[in-house]
Structure 1
Amino acid sequence: MKPCTKRRLLPLAALLGAACTQAMADSAAIKINQVGFPPAAQKLAVVPAGKAAAFIVVDAHTGKPVLREKLGEPKPWDVSGETVRIADFTALKTPGRYRLRVAGLPDSAPFDIQGNVYRALNIGALKAYYYNRASTALLPQHAGIYARAAGHPDTEVLVHASAASAGRPEGTVISAPKGWYDAGDYNKYIVNSGISTYTLLAAWEHFPQYFKAQDSNLPESGNGMPDIVNEALWNLDWMLAMQDPGDGGVYHKLTDKDFDGMVMPDQPHATRYVVQKSTAAALDFAAVMAVASRVMAPFERQRPGLSARMRQAAEAAWGWAQAHPDQIYRQPADIVTGDYSDSKLADEFAWAAAELYITTGKDSYYQAMRPGRLPAGVPSWGNVGGLAWISLAHHLPRLTPAADKALITRRITSLADQLRDTWSQSPYRVPLKKTDFVWGSNAVLLNQAMVLLHAYRIGRNQQPGYLQAAQSALDYVLGRNATGYSFVTGFGAHPAMHPHHRPSEADGISAPVPGWLVGGPNPGQEDIKNCKSYPSALPALSYLDHVCSYASNEVAINWNAPLVYVSAALNSLQ
């Protein structure tokens, strides 16, 4: 979720019932991936430095020791204020359930070693999108206890004054149903949908055999398309409706004027609007539709003509952006929902050009990308240039002679080298730097992992450090972090329980909707006015598991997407 200048929350007493409270992370706890590891994976835990110099791994059922090893040397981690040692039990490859034991400390949370150990996690992370679908009821046979009524049909949406055109003046009624609610709120944003939908489509393009075998129990399951494509289509159909057929421009978002309260999605009835066309929206749309066009090409029988329509829509949006290269989103005075405004658009132009080049084979798009000027960075909604390099590297064999294949490979591997070096030097063995602890830090880490995994793949699996650093990133969000939480709802012995997510708060069910990655530690604490009980100001501990904390505990579609990608990749590559 994009940080917003204003958030609509319930009155403090009603929201909290009492002051936000949360104990400091147990400094004596062993920090470990609470789900588990593939047998061939590197397996690390973090142990607080003390008198013990060794550890054992025990069978979780019998307590019988199965491995004894020495702990690593003590190292301080300034972002958490801890001094820690690494426990490396990679040598243990026998399937089973285990705990790690260190003299003087409580045993670790249990963890599994087994093949396809992240299957349930991957299905859960993908199914979270289903739970956040707009414009449809979630039925018990697919949603279980999280079944709910349909919310926001979005079949009668007004064109806001900021989005008015000659063909669609202010107040014009359009229909734009489907799509995913963006985060903890009930609005829908093209810019954030861009990277979110792309990452799901990339996961399918990169690991098709894995997703062909997956059954997520969606309403569409068994229709001849993989579930990950079915889920992406729910959002793609909405995105197509956000393009003005008159000129090819794309509305920035579909939204209420203000945030809804903490209610179920069928309860709000505020007027909904499409707001301003923007260059960023048009370019993100063009990139995603170019990808979707090639993904949908083999599924002509299931969705006749859709691939061609998506390609045409992508090129129309590109044309609009060329004619409007600096149409920056400016939040209208009467709209206070998330803005996702981006004034630096070179990366969006490059990403859209790269995807159109791959899909169409037109060299003019590769030239428009200006590859010599485009650095590779860890992807985020506001910095999508890295997605261009990921796609180009994946499709390297099919590119025309115009492409500089050596440059493409170098961009990915150079960035991966930097991330691997940070990981290898980190006392917690994560690629995160101090400056990476921002709003959505968990997604920063998983997007770093996505880069590392792609570098590992294009290097033909010859750089194990890339794979190990990516494994460590998943370990972190599943419990090997300074807070000791699993940051994925419904997974691990100590998962986040109170995400800033309206359905999870309003449905009357004690457990939150499962499969959501929460934002994670954020020393910015932008919600401190409403959440006064953060346990620490230290970057790695600045996390609050309470619904009040939209700055550290919200969920978002762009944060979950790399969780889907990384969990599938680590299952597939190990």
Structure 2
Amino acid sequence: MKNHFSVFAGMIFSACMFVAAFANAQSGLPASDSIRLNQLGFYPKAPKTAIILTDRPQKFTIQAVNGKTIFSGTLTPSAKPDLSGRTIYLADFSTLQQAGNYVLNVPDANYSYPFAVNIDIHQKVAAAAIKGFYYQRASIPLLEKYAGKWTRPAGHMGNDVLVHPSAATGQRPAGSIISVPRGWYDAGDYNSYIVNSGITMGTLFSLYEDFPAHMKTVALNIPESNNQLPDVLDECLWNLRWMLAMQDPNDGGVYNKLTNASFDGMIMPDKAVMPRYVVQKGTAATLDFAAVMAQASRILKPFEKQVPGLADSCLKAAVSAWQWALASPKMAYNQDAMNKQFEPKVVTGGYGDGRFDDEFDWAAAELYITTKDEAYLKNLALNNIRLSIPSWSQVRMLAYYSLLRNRGSLTSSLKPVIPVLSDKLTAFADSLSNPATLSAYQTAMGRSARDFNWGSSSNAANQGIALINAYLLTKNKQCLNAALANLDYLLGRNGTSYSLVTGFGHKPIMHPHHRQSVADGVVDPVPGLLSGGPNPSQQDKVPLPTKIPNRALSDNDQAYASNEIAINWNAPFAYLANAIEALKTSAGYTK
């Protein structure tokens, strides 16, 4: 009788421990950081992997809410060590396909954070990644019906912008007051930069072009939601109209940025009232602008009734910017040199770029695709195709994506290039997704310590975009699975144990370098924003828990080198999460 009671008591204790662990994790109390997995969960028929920081192979189990074990397996060692030099272990439970809420248990590591298996597992975070841009809007109050508890007054109405001496012309002398409303705040600060808006808008527009039917179903609850435009385009228009106002109407050149002379403190937008300037025109900014406007023109053309004349205005602006860039092909933005010549000195983000061949490629490609005018091909270098993950300073890949996306409507002179470009993208994606080269965490992200630079999270997302574009060409499931694994990385299967997206997961980033989230008095940060991610270079001098590259993150609002947010990081995350949602059924993840 005593033995039976001991067994029964042990069962009760085990069940109670599970329920407590499940309840604790669901309420935000610590589960085991030694188990790393997508903290939201998994599609029923998609791959499912967790990483376990343990020193030995052992059994693992997956249990339902009632404590019942519904899956068991054995951990396997990673084929290569983590960047710390340590062997880690993998739990593969891909054959678990039953919808439900679960935790994973390993004797040495305790319980994981709870996760779900269901067909819409990424639906909310995918929408939130785009809704994050709404919270970055200038010139509009965020009302509770749209913003929830992150309501705030309007800041930076844009009707009192000064022309900086570096941007002065005869028609717009220094000190002239111009109107430049709307736009998105660039990052954790309240300034706006054309170069960074360029890659951001190009990525979001590409999301719409690649998955128009799906993106028409993504509801964001923003002020324009009932105007018969897809919400993603409505959100993009808030920034597009700001970009249009950043073009000098007298010559077509585009100002590099709209900015204070120096950064604001940790205050709300309506309290940030320092004078704002449009600053020096530049070749990179003008070409990025031309590319975005050309892409916008063809996207908006079917919506003439909703936005009359806007598609034509965008194309006209793109052509004017292109002509300015041809006349000024080497106008670099060098902030240090500018500050030696003009006052006030400007010390906000520079986004300086001294090479413009990639910007010429991108602008030429978008203008050619939209107009079919082969004159633009003279400035599109396709005799030496070089693929790399895009960034604000290297946008050539956006040209390649657009050419492949529109390959069925190109003029005959360019059609021979498409098979070459397709083969190169396929090989590039194969190198990312090759199982033999994946990181210890079984992701394309983190194969090398070089992945962990400033804004490393965007590397993971942009790798995902490359893999998805290759999948669209080839239907190679290995590419899509690798893209999904990088989404798992961003949502918790990483060296930091954090979900790198505010508001999502059981251990999300809570203290991003983001002025609104710091100053608004709300405990939770603005949701749907992607943290920059691990970066051992420590440009902000904020102490890190470790310099191991894939773990070098501090959830500290002063840690801008690893924990700021930025629109050019959110955009590829938005693409990745929404593309996976768009493809989940045809790929067999949910059937």
Alignment TM class, shorter chain as reference: over 0.9
CA distance in 2, matches of 1:507, 1:28: 30
Moved more, 230-239 or 113-122: 113-122
Corresponding residue SS for 1:276? strand
Over the matched positions of the two proteins, sequence identity in percent amounts to 47
Corresponding residue SS for 2:104? strand
Match of 2:554 among 535, 544, 562: 544
Question: Given the alignment of the two structures, is residue 414 of structure 1 paired with residue 427 of structure 2, yes or no?
Answer: yes
Q: Which residue pairs with 2:351 in the alignment?
A: 340
What is the one-letter code of the residue matched to 2:192? Answer: K
Q: Which residue pairs with 1:395 in the alignment?
A: 406
Q: Which residue pairs with 1:135 in the alignment?
A: 139
Question: Given the alignment of the two structures, is residue 456 of structure 1 paired with residue 471 of structure 2, yes or no?
Answer: yes
Question: Given the alignment of the two structures, is residue 386 of structure 1 paired with residue 397 of structure 2, yes or no?
Answer: yes
- Contact in 2 for aligned 1:252/1:276 (Cα 8 Å): yes
CA offset digits 1:43-81 (Å, max 9, x no partner)? 11111233343322221x112122222322344534234
Corresponding residue SS for 1:69? strand
- Contact in 2 for aligned 1:290/1:311 (Cα 8 Å): yes
CA offset digits 1:166-213 (Å, max 9, x no partner)? 221111211110000000000000000001111111111111122211
Q: Which residue pairs with 1:16 in the alignment?
A: none
* Pairwise CA RMSD: 1.5
- Contact in 2 for aligned 1:374/1:385 (Cα 8 Å): no
What is the one-letter code of the residue matched to 2:309? Answer: G
Moved more, 37-46 or 318-327: 37-46
CA distance in 1, matches of 2:181, 2:348: 19
- Contact in 1 for aligned 2:82/2:440 (Cα 8 Å): no
Q: Which residue pairs with 1:19 in the alignment?
A: none
Corresponding residue SS for 1:513? coil
- Contact in 2 for aligned 1:52/1:102 (Cα 8 Å): no
CA offset digits 1:74-93 (Å, max 9, x no partner)? 44534234321121111112
Match of 1:324 among 328, 342, 366: 328
CA distance in 2, matches of 1:212, 1:144: 23
CA distance in 1, matches of 2:272, 2:389: 37
Q: Post-superposition shift, 1:222?
A: 1.5
Q: Which residue pairs with 1:147 in the alignment?
A: 151
Corresponding residue SS for 2:270? coil
Question: Given the alignment of the two structures, is residue 563 of structure 1 paired with residue 573 of structure 2, yes or no?
Answer: yes
Structure 1 or 2, whichever has the larger Rg, is: 2
Moved more, 496-505 or 81-90: 81-90
CA distance in 2, matches of 1:423, 1:441: 22
Corresponding residue SS for 2:73? strand
CA offset digits 1:518-564 (Å, max 9, x no partner)? 00000110011xx23x1001111110000010000000000000111
Q: Which residue pairs with 2:563 in the alignment?
A: 553
CA distance in 2, matches of 1:157, 1:443: 31
| Structure 1 residues 513-524: aligned runs within 5 Å | 513-524=526-537
Question: Given the alignment of the two structures, is residue 467 of structure 1 paired with residue 472 of structure 2, yes or no?
Answer: no
Larger RCO, structures 1/2 (Cα 8 Å, 6+ apart): 1
CA offset digits 1:477-503 (Å, max 9, x no partner)? 100011100000000000000000000
Q: Which residue pairs with 2:3 in the alignment?
A: none
CA distance in 1, matches of 2:177, 2:195: 22
Change in CA separation of 1:412 and 1:75 when aligned onto 2, cut-off 3 Å:
closer
What is the one-letter code of the residue matched to 2:468? Answer: L
Q: Which residue pairs with 1:360 in the alignment?
A: 371
| Structure 1 residues 241-390: aligned runs within 5 Å | 241-331=245-335, 332-333=338-339, 334-390=345-401
TM-score by length of 1: 0.93
Change in CA separation of 1:27 and 1:68 when aligned onto 2, cut-off 3 Å:
closer
What is the one-letter code of the residue matched to 1:90? Answer: S
Change in CA separation of 1:423 and 1:566 when aligned onto 2, cut-off 3 Å:
farther
Q: Post-superposition shift, 1:357?
A: 1.1
CA distance in 1, matches of 2:368, 2:47: 38
CA distance in 2, matches of 1:193, 1:263: 23
What is the one-letter code of the residue matched to 2:259? Answer: T
Q: Post-superposition shift, 1:424?
A: 4.4
Q: Which residue pairs with 2:500 in the alignment?
A: 487
Question: Given the alignment of the two structures, is residue 93 of structure 1 paired with residue 97 of structure 2, yes or no?
Answer: yes
CA offset digits 1:452-487 (Å, max 9, x no partner)? 01100111x1x1111111111111110001110000
CA distance in 2, matches of 1:502, 1:65: 45
CA distance in 2, matches of 1:379, 1:294: 22
Match of 1:501 among 511, 514, 518: 514
CA distance in 1, matches of 2:280, 2:552: 35
Q: Post-superposition shift, 1:341?
A: 0.5
TM-score by length of 2: 0.90
- Contact in 2 for aligned 1:366/1:402 (Cα 8 Å): no
Question: Given the alignment of the two structures, is residue 511 of structure 1 paired with residue 503 of structure 2, yes or no?
Answer: no
Q: Which residue pairs with 2:458 in the alignment?
A: 443
Match of 2:68 among 57, 64, 70: 64
CA distance in 2, matches of 1:163, 1:423: 52
Change in CA separation of 1:26 and 1:540 when aligned onto 2, cut-off 3 Å:
farther
CA distance in 1, matches of 2:214, 2:68: 35
Moved more, 362-371 or 250-259: 362-371
Q: Which residue pairs with 2:40 in the alignment?
A: 35
CA offset digits 1:86-120 (Å, max 9, x no partner)? 21111112211111121221111111111121111
Q: Post-superposition shift, 1:142?
A: 0.6
- Contact in 1 for aligned 2:32/2:110 (Cα 8 Å): no
Corresponding residue SS for 1:125? helix
Q: Which residue pairs with 2:25 in the alignment?
A: none
CA distance in 1, matches of 2:515, 2:188: 6
Runs of 5+ consecutive residues of structure 2 not aligned to the other structure: 1-29, 340-344, 585-591
Corresponding residue SS for 1:266? helix
What is the one-letter code of the residue matched to 2:412? Answer: P
CA distance in 1, matches of 2:429, 2:322: 30
Q: Which residue pairs with 1:13 in the alignment?
A: none
CA distance in 1, matches of 2:356, 2:436: 30
Q: Post-superposition shift, 1:408?
A: 2.1
CA distance in 2, matches of 1:311, 1:163: 24
Corresponding residue SS for 1:67? strand
Match of 1:50 among 27, 39, 55: 55
**For this pair of structures, how many residues does the alignment match?**
544
CA distance in 1, matches of 2:81, 2:553: 17
- Contact in 1 for aligned 2:503/2:527 (Cα 8 Å): yes
